[in-house]
Amino acid sequence: MYKLKKAKSVKGELRVPSDKSISHRAVILSAIAEGKSVIRNWLSSEDTLATLQIAKALGTKVETKGNELMITGRDFNFCEPDHVLDARNSGTTARLFLGVLATQEFFSVITGDESLRNRPMLRVVEPLRQMGAFLDGREKGNKLPICVRGGKLKGISFFNKRASAQVKSSLLLAGLKAEGITEITEPYLSRDHTERMLKLFGANITQLEGSSGHIIKIAGGQKLYGCEISCPADPSSAAFFVALATLLEDSQLILKDVLINPTRDGFFRKLRQMGAYVEYANVREVSGEPVADIVVEGGRKLKGLNITKEDVPSLIDELPLLALVMSLAEGSSMVKGAEELRFKESDRIKAVVENLRSMGANIEEYQDGFYIEGVEKLKGANIKTYSDHRIAMTFSVAGLVAEGETTIDNPECVSVSYPNFYEDLNKIILQT
């Protein structure tokens, strides 16, 4: 249990933990590359440690020095694991490693915790089967545990209808060892960290716009070479502090070294559209990714807005937090096309609606989103996190802007992505 009361404002400077998506991919690509890679400012969290442990279980040599990793790549020549691989709570770990394991002729099994074992995997399993790998598991391969025996793969053309970056990434990794061309089309560009990082490791990727959407092509037989990677601060983690500073008057906050990749910064762009003061300073490129310091000032009047299906990929992880901001904005807001939220660590649509209602918000649930009428203030409540880190952090922010006391039922779940979240909150909060 963790209790929070309304804060007066937030002030100061903060460097939130490094980006989770990039930290996952840096380990996986370093492992499949030839030679040594150095990963700086790597995020050590429950999810990323799952990725690191699986890489080690496949024979990858890893040296750790503080938040720096030195990885000696296997050039896709992995060792057959002698036990079941555990992705814990991480969908990224499970889905991306399914793509890697599909290239290996040996037998392997990957599983996860109770939450992950109930998340859909057929979206990755089916195209990997089409490429020639054998995969099977619960519910005909839709649920973990999943066993894999891979080997000789052939490139396919695949329409990624959900615009899932995890599906795309899994197929690109498998495509590196497939015969011919692997082509993935998505209706709109999903987060593109894998494509950017593959180029950093020396891969040749073709990207173009077609009549059906964004097309990515990769030829099999390419070799990756070890390199140096610096991981920027995670925009999803930074978003909680940006939202808090936006909602509290007299707040002034600088978030350092934040990733502002256009497939990931939708939350910050939408806040600006609502009237918030959120600006980028010191914009630069780090390891192929755009990075900036984010400057936030609170007290601006906010107006509601609508989120469409096309908006969702660039802010899918921040939608629960955006719902909180919407609940305190003037007028109405609507989120549609976000049914993927029901298949995260929890049913995030249900969790958001239930918890915001308990705090006095005016919110209506849809199958693929919600409708919100803004209110002047929220009231403290007992929050059910459903052991979901993003729900816990979102409603911790809510507790700091609501009247009265708010209780978070499972604060420990934030360790999945942000182990020091509450410590960092306390560094910048000025209490009334």
- Active-site residues, by number, are 317
Enumerate helices (H) and strands (E) in the chain, giving the number of each: 13, 26
Q: Is-cis flag, bond preceding 320, omega within 30?
A: no
Q: Which positions ≥6 away from 423 have C-beta within 8 Å?
A: none
- Could you tell me the end-to-end alpha-carbon distance of the chain, in angstroms, rounded to an integer? 22
In this structure, are residues 302 and 352 in contact, taking their beta carbons and an 8 Å threshold?
no
Question: Rounded to the nearest 5°, which phi and psi values hold at 298?
Answer: -90, 175
Question: Element (H or E) spanning 146, and its range?
Answer: strand 143-149
In this structure, are residues 95 and 70 in contact, taking their beta carbons and an 8 Å threshold?
no
- Closest Cα to residue 311, out of 288, 278, 334? 334
Question: Assign residue 409 a region: left if phi > 0, alpha if psi is -120 to 50, beta otherwise?
Answer: alpha
Q: What type of residue is 283?
A: V
